[in-house]
Amino acid sequence: MKKTLIIVALLTIAFSANAQWFNFSNNMKRFEIGFTVGQAGSTTEYAGLGIGANLVAFGVQVDFLHKGPEHQYDNHIESKLYNDNVAWIVNGGYQIPVLSWLKVVPMAGYCQTNEGITDASTINFNHGEYTTTFYHDYDVTPGTRQHHFNFGCGIALQPLPWMSINAAYTKYAIYGGLSLNLFGFSN
């Protein structure tokens, strides 16, 4: 009974606010860039916390999430070999505007996992203009790379014209993030 009352109340608010359902022209006002955090490689033995980015252009959404190897950026030099693993995903979808502030995003994509060895006795560096990054060699163990078709659904809440809160649940990832609408700053 409680759930029914909540649904009725939300529908009443939506209709009383002159909400326009499925107004696809709302997507034309959005160009977003943001970050994502969540579990990459869900439902595999390589699942773990990953970080990534997302891009939304006129309703088309692309997400990326990467995890591991865990010891590659450790700053200690030791004569040790670590058993590490990697999981990453990339998904694409289209934001279906249910309401002006709520969008549902069916998604499909790709997931790759592998395991390998991080050699802590090696040290490499990338020297940029302002930073230097040190890292150890990571070699994929032959035969461990797995490729997966990924699919699922996400939601995007847009409480402000210049910000979105995103969440997604797919077969091989669970993640969420924030993004900024660059067109929202121009208004």
Domains defined for the chain, CATH in brackets: 20-186 (2.40.160.20)
pLDDT at 94: 96
Task: Decide if pLDDT at 183 tops 60.
Answer: yes
The residue type at 89: I
Instruction: Report the chain's terminal Cα–Cα distance, integer Å.
Output: 43
pLDDT mean over 65-93: 88
pLDDT mean over 85-96: 96
Task: Decide if pLDDT at 160 tops 60.
Answer: yes
Structural element, H or E, at residue 174: strand 173-181
Q: Please, are residues 114 and 85 in contact by the beta-carbon 8 Å criterion?
A: yes
Q: Please, are residues 42 and 169 in contact by the beta-carbon 8 Å criterion?
A: no
The residue type at 81: L
Cα gap 136→133, rounded to integer Å: 10
The structure tokens 């006002």 sit at 29
Task: Decide if pLDDT at 111 tops 70.
Answer: yes
Q: Is 72 helix (H, G, I), strand (E, B) or coil?
A: coil
The residue type at 180: L
Q: Please, are residues 24 and 97 in contact by the beta-carbon 8 Å criterion?
A: yes
Task: Output the average pLDDT for the chain.
Answer: 87
pLDDT mean over 172-182: 95
pLDDT at 26: 80
Q: Of 52 and 101, which is predicted with more confidence?
A: 52
Q: Of 167 and 6, which is predicted with more confidence?
A: 167
pLDDT at 80: 86
From residue 160, alpha-carbon distances to 98, 132, 169 in Å are 16, 37, 23
Q: Of 177 and 187, which is predicted with more confidence?
A: 177
pLDDT at 118: 87
pLDDT at 90: 97
